[in-house]
Structure 1
Amino acid sequence: MIVRFLLLLLLASGFTSVARADDLQPGYLEIRERETAAHQYKITWKAPIRPGLAARVVPVFPNDCKATEPVRSVDAAALLARWDIDCDTSLAGRSVRLSGMENTPADALLRYQSANGITQAARLTPASPSAVILQKADRWQVARTYFVTGVEHILMGYDHLLFVLCLVLLLNGAWRVAATVTAFTIAHSLTLVATTHELISVPGPPVEAAIALSIVFLAVEIVKRKPGELRLSERFPWVVAFLFGLLHGFGFAGALAEIGLPQGEVPMALLTFNLGVEAGQLVIVAVAMLVLWALRRVHALYAARVQLVSAYAIGGIAVMWLLQRVLPT
């Protein structure tokens, strides 16, 4: 019964997220000041449909700001709206709010860029749905925002999450798993930094397909392992995790590019985003290992069956992602 439940849970998460496995789920509000006109701003509002942001939440600006008619488009996952506002005075020092957010379970990211390039990032939540536009980006605000974003991305980026789960299912020993996951983090951090500074550029679709393939590889390693015979990923887990981590870093970079980085605080944003990813990964590792430990306490056979069934489920989900990302739509 436990095995069947876990299998259904894994399959459900894969089917419901197959189309956009690496997307961030919070809303995204961008305010960009025009360079050619004082106190005029271009607004972009991306509201995911599933948490209810698209239907319930509306950005609200100060009363002296006049808005043009929004241009809207909708895809399978989000509402995208763009419009301009013209304010009597600068938004700096004033509040921007997401009306209706109190009634949703989701968060949103606010990104503000002034005409002279000063960028601010803030996190809006149901408990705190407004933010004051600052004259200068606050370092600790940037740190908090990007750390939480990093944690959220690893928990909601299902392909990265399943990769980490595969490492837990494959390896034995808490320190060995933690060290392998840390090697994965170091690798994708290097790729993320290189991509952010435009030292490397790789098209998104091939990267997404290769990330799915990396999960398939680990799932096959779990299924095919035998007692007394170490598979490649068991002999050199840090090397495998590091090499695949370089690949997954491109996926993180693509997600972070949607949010943007605050000018003048790029190192802090990258550092705290990666620390958030590492913290999220270690939480996943701890929970998964605790479940396996509990199953072994009940009966060792339960743990072995869960590992095998989970590997088949994860591999099946990853194969679906792979086919979706390589076959023409």
Structure 2
Amino acid sequence: MTIAWRGACLGLLLAVLVPSSTTRAHEIRPALLEIEETGPGIFEVTWKLPGKGDRALGLEPVLPENLTAIAPPTVRRVPAAWVQRATYKSDGTPIVGRSISIDGLSAVQTDVLLRIELLDGSTHSAILRPNAPTFEIPARESKKEVALATYRMGITHILEGYDHLLFLLALMLIVTGFWRLVKTITAFTVAHSITLALATLGVVHFPTAPTEAVIALSIVFLAAEVIRMRNGEVVLTERYPWVVAFGFGLIHGLGFAGALSQVGIPEHEVPLSLLMFNLGVETGQIFFVTVVALALSGIRRIPVTLPGGAWRLAPYAIGGLATFWTIQRIVSMFPPGA
């Protein structure tokens, strides 16, 4: 397939993906509900609700009926969200076996990350969605339940992480040849696996907002590389694609770690959770690359002659969207009145 064809076809795919990704990538983040048992029957509840403009989303957590607030909640405004904290006391019965749900979830395009820490050391994590807004608190999770839950989280994160997918898409515009692409994606995988593990284990720590901005900037870099390469220049990513993929993969791994830390993982199953989350990410990544490759293979059989400049569609679309994300994420680090 010629570069012109690949560029035009990937541009067409972007035309389908970009409208939803612009909205969902980082404009509205998932809500976060944390419930921590700090003493026998005493629960600290944190509800972080994203906002759009000056309004919070119309979501309301419905806690187990055996919990009663013992003090008025405190509410404070943070960048792009409201955080509400309150203390609850149970009526003496356990919350295990009871349900937590989110009212209004079916009316908005976001998810709710739920994390529960009980006094016995057990931790429960879940993602509540419009089609599944309720979670029943189980007894201590088995290894199988932990493995399945974190595996699904990994798949969900990569397939809903439009910035990570766009990075892969840009690599596919530069790297030619099946085995070269395999080596490049393998380097990306190894790199983000390293920083995902180090950040989750607390060995390294980087603030989320700057990390997200650099991730977006990495996509801008690749888009510029595509344009320079097509204009006849010898670019770094074309000569050493696995080196570039590995370097930026280290940054993307910090983004994966940030997502995993939001949900939380059981302290007694950290290695298993890390492994399964990473396997989930790789499953989603392989699925995405395969779908794109098959789509391009089918489209190139269409007997249409494209103008010579058609290749520009994909890199300019990728670069434009990534530039928007970069600016948006940098601006979010400096909220008004901060």
Q: Could you tell me the TM-score, scaled by structure 1's length?
A: 0.82
CA change 1:74–1:220 in 2 (3 A) is: same
Structure 2 residues without counterparts, runs of 5 or longer: 1-7
**Alignment equivalent of 1:41, drawn from 37, 40, 43:** 43
Structure 1 equivalent of residue 101 of structure 2: 98
For these two proteins, the number of residue pairs brought into alignment is: 322
Which SS does the other structure have where 2:94 is aligned? coil
Structure 2 equivalent of residue 278 of structure 1: 282
Which SS does the other structure have where 2:252 is aligned? helix
Per-residue CA deviation, residues 233-253 of structure 1 (Å, 9 max, x unaligned), is: 123222221111011111222
Structure 2 equivalent of residue 319 of structure 1: 323
Residue 296 of structure 1 deviates from its aligned partner by 1.5
Residue 129 of structure 1 deviates from its aligned partner by 3.9
Tell me whether 1:82 sits opposite 2:89 in the alignment: no
Structure 1 residues without counterparts, runs of 5 or longer: none
CA contact (8 A) 1:209 1:321 kept: yes
**Counterparts of 2:223 and 2:206 in 1: how far apart (Å)?**
25
Structure 1 equivalent of residue 121 of structure 2: 117
Structure 2 equivalent of residue 189 of structure 1: 193
Tell me whether 1:214 sits opposite 2:218 in the alignment: yes
CA contact (8 A) 1:296 1:302 kept: no
CA change 1:319–1:26 in 2 (3 A) is: closer
Residue 325 of structure 1 deviates from its aligned partner by 4.2
Which SS does the other structure have where 1:298 is aligned? coil
Structure 1 equivalent of residue 153 of structure 2: 149
Structure 2 equivalent of residue 199 of structure 1: 203
Per-residue CA deviation, residues 167-186 of structure 1 (Å, 9 max, x unaligned), is: 12222344543442232122
Greater mean alpha carbon deviation, residues 319-328 or residues 162-171: 319-328
Which SS does the other structure have where 2:140 is aligned? coil
2:37 alignment partner AA: E
**Counterparts of 2:73 and 2:310 in 1: how far apart (Å)?**
50
After the TM superposition, which residues 244-323 of structure 1 pair with which residues of structure 2 at under 5 Å, given as runs?
244-299=248-303, 302=306, 307-323=311-327
Per-residue CA deviation, residues 252-290 of structure 1 (Å, 9 max, x unaligned), is: 222222222211011121111111111121222122222
CA change 1:49–1:290 in 2 (3 A) is: farther
CA contact (8 A) 1:296 1:303 kept: no
CA change 1:147–1:101 in 2 (3 A) is: farther
Residue 33 of structure 1 deviates from its aligned partner by 0.3
CA change 1:253–1:272 in 2 (3 A) is: same
**Counterparts of 2:130 and 2:220 in 1: how far apart (Å)?**
38
**Alignment equivalent of 1:16, drawn from 7, 12, 23:** 23
After the TM superposition, which residues 223-234 of structure 1 pair with which residues of structure 2 at under 5 Å, given as runs?
223-226=227-230, 231-234=235-238
CA change 1:256–1:306 in 2 (3 A) is: farther
Greater mean alpha carbon deviation, residues 293-302 or residues 111-120: 293-302
CA contact (8 A) 1:111 1:119 kept: yes
Tell me whether 1:167 sits opposite 2:182 in the alignment: no
**Counterparts of 2:9 and 2:15 in 1: how far apart (Å)?**
10
**Alignment equivalent of 2:64, drawn from 61, 76, 85:** 61
CA change 1:49–1:144 in 2 (3 A) is: farther
Per-residue CA deviation, residues 108-142 of structure 1 (Å, 9 max, x unaligned), is: 33311122432222344455543343442322222
Residue 305 of structure 1 deviates from its aligned partner by 5.8
Residue 76 of structure 1 deviates from its aligned partner by 7.0
CA contact (8 A) 1:91 1:133 kept: no
Which SS does the other structure have where 1:152 is aligned? helix
1:149 alignment partner AA: M
CA change 1:214–1:2 in 2 (3 A) is: closer
**Counterparts of 2:243 and 2:57 in 1: how far apart (Å)?**
43
RMSD across aligned positions (CA): 3.4
**Counterparts of 2:111 and 2:181 in 1: how far apart (Å)?**
31
Residue 102 of structure 1 deviates from its aligned partner by 7.4
Which SS does the other structure have where 1:34 is aligned? strand
CA contact (8 A) 1:169 1:222 kept: yes
Structure 2 equivalent of residue 140 of structure 1: 144
Residue 189 of structure 1 deviates from its aligned partner by 1.1
Tell me whether 1:239 sits opposite 2:267 in the alignment: no
Residue 74 of structure 1 deviates from its aligned partner by 5.7
CA change 1:11–1:262 in 2 (3 A) is: same
**Counterparts of 1:186 and 1:180 in 2: how far apart (Å)?**
10
